[in-house]
Structure 1
Amino acid sequence: MKAAKTVTTEDPRLSEVFDKLLGTLRNFIRENRITHEEYRRAVAFLAEVGQKGEVSLICDVFVEVTVDEVANNGRGGTITTIEGPFYVPNAPAMKSPCELPHRPDEKGPVLFLSGVVRSPNGDPLPGTILDLWQSDQQGRYSHFDIPEAVAPYNLRARVAVDHNGKFDVKTRLPGPYEIPKAGPTGALLAAMGRHAWRPAHLHMKIGRQGYRNLTTQVFMNNDPWLESDVVEGAVKSALIVDPVKHDDPDDLRQKNLTEPYYTLTYDFFLEPVIAKAA
């Protein structure tokens, strides 16, 4: 008789977390007396989520806020929030001052975004890269709602700050939008009586050697969906900003603009990486 093979655990952390998740799920089923019909409906729903390519979407809507909360508990510097499902790596590299890539007929008011990336004591941090992405005025993202062939990396770029840690970026004012709702995620929200809207915002991932990477968003004040973002907990008061409108005719002529534009200034503070003791 052959001896049974010893099963080795390749990833102890995975085993620990999965066992706890399974235990929590089994207790949930018992406590809520989930029927076999309800179980089968749940399995079919999860299968549809995978088939429709909405795994990232549904997890980011319902779970990512909690992951961000745990990962950044006690963190210093600018407040973090979710990355969301619309990030695309390897956006064009640019240097401040710059204008984000956009279509020739890009709609919406011009927005001049500026600020300084600083250490906790206020010192500027040259060498920082701001990975910026946003929706257009209609709430559409390149690579998702805007085909890459039509507008590659529309309103996306990795911007290097100047020698004073300052960034000056010309872009467009983003618009609020509904997350994709034609698939299972939208059906679930509708079944719970919830809308699918996100308030207007700008995304950024900010990185510099020797400091913790920062992923956050800034939200436009007075947006009608600020108080009821479909991603509960993503909007934080310290991340709500007030773009300033400019409509002086002489000023517009100097900037070669025919419509009012907006300015927004926001400084970001990065937390240093603390070396672990040997």
Structure 2
Amino acid sequence: MFDEEHSAEVVAASFAGTPDPRLREVLTALVRHAHAFVKDVGLTGEEWAAGIKFLTATGQQCDDVRQEFILLSDVLGVSMLVETINNRAVGGSTESTVEGPFHQVASPARALGDTIDLVGDGEPCLVTGRVVDSALEPVPGAAVDVWQADAEGFYDVQRPGAVPSRNLRGLFTADAEGRFWFRSVVPRFYPIPTDGPVGALLGAAGRHPYRAAHIHIQVSAPGVRTLTTHLFVDGSPYLDSDAVFGVKDSLVRAFAAVDDPGRAERYGLPNPFREVDFQIVVRRDGGG
């Protein structure tokens, strides 16, 4: 029978017949930890009701371009923990980080060297890189999906009608040597959405909502593990206090100032401009 002392054991036993062993393991652990939490903090009925109301509001905030539950997972550090556990960097591979809540729009295919900036605002930037495996052999034809905030700290989906759809998004195909390059603008740091329950939570906790400036990059190819990572702008505010805990030292790069009219003309950029190079090391399936 159910009692306070043995509550977790009683409820966990109800899942003993779950056919899927992994589901049984997860549900049993969830019950054990949830009951321990309630007992540890001495949760009141009013607090329990407030928690249910918060989660309900979180679900109601979700739509086709915004996922408030992902945002909640992000600010609690759960997204980064899951990502880190499941994508441990080995053999010198590039570290992963969170996908974030704004990869809800398909990136348009673009040719190498194209610009992803459809507006023309911000400091022009050339992004170059190479996709290689742990043996530093190229991964030809790798798909390099990129998306970023603009110079004011907004994604296209946050400014519908104000900027073109798919602004600052692009899907590139690496060449035979695994190289990729494209034109963009230097991204700005920005706040995660604060007009929903997650923003209210941060406010109640006295936490700021800002993310350090970055470009999202997701790399995939046959025979390699898909990698989701960030390219962070060195010197950006909030590198040491990113709201979703996504910053890793190995992913921070200098966006160097370049004053070279010849190179600017070659890449179709105004002079001067900024430049960053980011080699991405992916893992082969079943190995490094």
TM-score in terms of structure 1 length:
0.88
Match runs of 1:29-108 below 5 Å: 29-53=38-62, 54-62=68-76, 63-73=78-88, 75-76=90-91, 77-100=93-116, 102-103=118-119, 106-108=120-122
Distance 1:253 1:94 in 2: 20
Give the C-alpha shift of residue 204 in structure 1: 0.8
Give the C-alpha shift of residue 32 in structure 1: 1.2
**Correspondence for 2:224:** 211
Q: Which runs of 5+ in 1 are unaligned?
A: 1-6
Q: Secondary structure at the match of 1:41?
A: helix
Q: Which runs of 5+ in 2 are unaligned?
A: 1-15, 63-67
Please tell me whether the aligned partners of residues 109 and 259 of structure 1 are also in contact (alpha carbons under 8 angstroms): no
Deviations along 1:223-255, one digit per CA (max 9) or x if unpaired, are: 1111111112x1111000001112356765776
Rate the CA distance shift 1:269–1:97 in 2: closer, same or farther, 3 A: same
Please tell me whether the aligned partners of residues 143 and 171 of structure 2 are also in contact (alpha carbons under 8 angstroms): yes
Q: Secondary structure at the match of 1:133?
A: strand
Distance 1:251 1:70 in 2: 42
Give the C-alpha shift of residue 56 in structure 1: 1.9
RMSD of aligned Cα (Å): 2.2
For the pair 1:176 / 2:189, whether they are aligned, the reply is yes
Distance 1:40 1:46 in 2: 10
Give the C-alpha shift of residue 256 in structure 1: 6.3
1:131 corresponds, among 137, 145, 157, to: 145
Please tell me whether the aligned partners of residues 109 and 260 of structure 1 are also in contact (alpha carbons under 8 angstroms): no
**Correspondence for 1:155:** 168
Deviations along 1:155-189, one digit per CA (max 9) or x if unpaired, are: 11110011211111111110100001121111111
Distance 1:250 1:96 in 2: 19
Deviations along 1:54-86, one digit per CA (max 9) or x if unpaired, are: 112111222101101211235441111111111
Q: Secondary structure at the match of 2:156?
A: coil
Rate the CA distance shift 1:251–1:16 in 2: closer, same or farther, 3 A: closer
Distance 2:112 2:270 in 1: 24
Distance 1:100 1:229 in 2: 25
Give the C-alpha shift of residue 142 in structure 1: 1.8
Distance 1:257 1:97 in 2: 10
Identity of aligned residues (%): 34
**Correspondence for 2:127:** 113
Rate the CA distance shift 1:210–1:170 in 2: closer, same or farther, 3 A: same
**Correspondence for 2:13:** none
